[in-house]
Amino acid sequence: MTDVIAVFSRKPIFGYRGMVFATMSIAALSTSVWAHHMFTTGVVLLPFFSLMSYLIAVPTGIKFFNWIGTMWRGSVKFDTPMLFAIGFLVTFLLGGVSGILLASPPVDFATHDTYFVVAHFHSVVMSLVMAAFAGFFFWYPKMTGRMLREGLGKATFWLMLVGANVTFLPQYLLGLKGMPRRIAEYAASDGFTTLNRISSAGSVLLFLSVAIFLVNVVVSWWKPIPAGDNPWDASSLEWATSSPPPHHNFLKIPPIRSQRPVWDYNHPEDRIIEHAKARPGGFVASGGVGTVLLADVNVDGEDTLETRDPDR
């Protein structure tokens, strides 16, 4: 998500060091939050695991501010990968906020084994699904050298975003109304019918979104549109090679002078870090034949491009 948001915001990652710290903190705290699934069992220490479940929201919030700060005042392009990234943020926020509620043992006791927990879990899962779709649409040109259809991709996104929320938001209300999990049939007098029908209608939208995605993959493979080497004007090293990349990737170790080496080379006017000495340039792809061109600065300060055929 971080890479996609930075690329389509045309900005470096906001608060990079803070994001690294937050990611490491989430990894550490995640070893101590598993027991919030067992609050009602009576075999876990409620104060400790409740505190850990609350604490993990702090680095997660830091990452949200990093992502929002990256988009803030950026030249945001709403291509399909970016739409799925924003959908991830919205859906994960809904799942995360409800997770904060469930970190409280009294709330967890009241909603455990109801559809409130089902809605929370699936909000988080659907956000991860959207993140996976963002990554797939983003790196598909790199893997195959072909573009997916943008129109079909946006149709997939909107159906999935609307379908996910129509499916799972009613389930929060059903849980608060007392609808239990793992029971297939309910009496009409229970008052669950209308919200369940709305939720079922949302699942149809989710099905249609996946169907359109599969059509997109088939059509894009059957009638390919060449992607070029870097269709997103991305900034990380994998976009320095041709698409799809050669087996060897690089002829020699590329010089790294910033967090966005490919962007620095392609946009020298926007380079953030200036060096007193002439830098060893950067790298561009060789027009789709699998060769990396490594730009070096000669004694006269001019860029020279070293080209080689990797098959020789």
Q: What residues does each domain of the chain span?
A: 2-222, 237-306
In three-state secondary structure terms, 295 is strand
- Could you give the C-alpha distances from 292 to 138, 232, 310, in angstroms and in order? 21, 18, 9
User: How long a stretch of residues is the chain?
Assistant: 312
> Does residue 96 carry a pLDDT above 60?
yes
**% of the chain at pLDDT higher than 70:** 86
Residue 284 near residue 293, CB atoms below 8 Å: yes
Average pLDDT over every residue of 84-111? 93
CA-CA distance, 124 to 82, in Å (whole number)?
18
The confidence score (pLDDT) of residue 4 equals 94
Q: Write down the pTM of the prediction.
A: 0.83
Query: 2-222: which CATH topology?
Result: Cytochrome C Oxidase; Chain A (1.20.210)
Give the count of beta carbons closer than 10 Å to the beta carbon of residue 41.
9
> Does residue 177 carry a pLDDT above 80?
yes
Beta strands 283-285; 303-306: pairing state? unpaired
The residue whose two tokens read 């790298």 is: 283
Percent of the chain as helix, strand, coil, to the nearest 5 = 60, 5, 35
DSSP-derived secondary structure letter, 294:
E
Give the count of beta carbons closer than 10 Å to the beta carbon of residue 30.
11
The confidence score (pLDDT) of residue 276 equals 39
> Does residue 64 carry a pLDDT above 60?
yes
CA nearest to 112, candidates 263, 104, 251, 14:
104
The confidence score (pLDDT) of residue 258 equals 78
Helix (H) or strand (E) holding 283: strand 283-285
The tens digit of pLDDT for each residue in 103-145 reads: 999 999 999 999 999 999 999 999 999 999 999 999 999 999 9
Give the count of beta carbons closer than 10 Å to the beta carbon of residue 214.
11
Per-residue confidence at 188, pLDDT binned at 50, 70, 90? Answer: confident
The residue whose two tokens read 């590329």 is: 254
